């Protein structure tokens, strides 16, 4: 039978949806309030995953600003490498993205350009080592 119904796959907590032995996906929401210093956005286990692609939607309701960023990150076990591009409702990016490895975790870090409350909604695809 052919239908136009959606297929909803919902994880609980920090669970992921695994498509095969090589790829997993997940999504989450993070709100940062009142800081413009370096803050963690997300992380993944370096021993399990080699690379990740993030799609991040940022909303600053105070200044009515919106942005979407595509972030690519990979690592060699010691160093993390990142590339990001974004488009937003203003010419200045809402955040700068960096990556590092700490305690076996590849961390995606942000430096918000405002101390306003900003909500980041993200979807990530992870590729196993």
pLDDT exceeds cutoff 60 at 32: yes
Q: Tell me the torsion sign for CA atoms 86, 37, 82, 25.
A: negative
Mean pLDDT of the region 11-35: 73
Question: Which whole number is the average pLDDT over 83-92?
Answer: 93
- How many residues does this entry show for the chain? 129
Query: How far out from the chain centre does Cα 1 lie?
Result: 37
In angstroms, rounded to a whole number, what is the distance separating the alpha carbons of residues 5 and 98?
A: 39
Distance CA(58)–CA(46), nearest Å, equals 26
- Global pTM reads 0.83
């Amino acid at each position: 039978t052919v239908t136009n119904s959606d297929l909803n796959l919902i994880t609980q907590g920090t669970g992921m949806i695994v498509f095969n032995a090589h790829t997993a996906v997940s999504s989450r929401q993070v709100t940062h309030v009142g800081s413009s210093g370096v803050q963690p956005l997300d992380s993944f286990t370096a021993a399990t995953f080699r690379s990740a692609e993030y799609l991040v939607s940022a909303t600053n309701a105070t200044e009515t600003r919106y942005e979407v960023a595509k972030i690519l990150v990979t690592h060699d076990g010691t160093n993390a490498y990142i590339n990001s591009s974004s488009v937003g409702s203003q010419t200045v990016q809402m955040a700068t993205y960096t990556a590092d490895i700490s305690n076996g975790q590849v961390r995606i870090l942000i430096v918000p350009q405002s101390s306003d409350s900003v909500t980041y909604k993200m979807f990530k695809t992870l590729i196993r080592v």
